[in-house]
């Protein structure tokens, strides 16, 4: 079992950047497919980016070229670097670990507004 804690959210102006962190405990992130999801008010939770145990990455079309997911096994942490942020990126962002079971963090709020 793994516990996930997200951090790094906040208020940022359009065009700005944020880096979200997902710190894991109880197990190594290296054995899980790790993902970032987001949920905006009134909308369903959607996949933003994933990184597999082999290091392959995949992104939602809406963030391709702006967001980068990465994993630091030595720190047992997964990151989401978000650049060129837009108001439509406003959401609660959740970290996810998937193997036999699926685990979620509590989420961190990202607000993009001038």
Q: Over the stretch 60-93, which tens digit does the pLDDT of each residue have?
A: 999 999 999 999 999 999 999 999 999 999 999 9
- The whole-number average pLDDT for the span 91-97 is 97
pLDDT tens-digit map of 8-17:
999 999 999 9
Q: Tell me what the mean pLDDT of segment 92-114 comes to.
A: 97
Q: What is the pLDDT of residue 58?
A: 98
Q: Write down the pLDDT at residue 80.
A: 98
Residue 49: per-residue pLDDT: 98
Span 23-47, pLDDT tens digits: 999 999 999 999 999 999 999 999 9
Q: What is the pLDDT of residue 15?
A: 98
pLDDT of residue 77: 97
pLDDT at position 91 is 98
- What's the pLDDT score for residue 75? 96
Contact 82, 67 (CB under 8 A): yes
């Amino acid at each position: 079992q793994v516990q996930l804690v997200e951090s790094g959210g906040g208020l940022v102006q359009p065009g700005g950047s944020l880096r979200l962190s997902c710190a894991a405990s109880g197990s190594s992130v290296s054995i899980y497919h790790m993902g970032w999801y987001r949920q905006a008010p009134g909308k369903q939770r959607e996949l933003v980016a994933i990184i597999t145990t082999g290091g392959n990455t995949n992104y939602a079309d809406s963030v391709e070229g702006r967001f980068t997911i990465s994993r630091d096994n030595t720190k047992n942490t997964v990151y989401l670097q978000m650049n060129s942020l837009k108001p439509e990126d406003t959401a609660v962002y959740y970290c996810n670990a998937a193997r036999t079971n699926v685990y979620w963090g509590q989420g961190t709020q990202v607000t993009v507004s001038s």
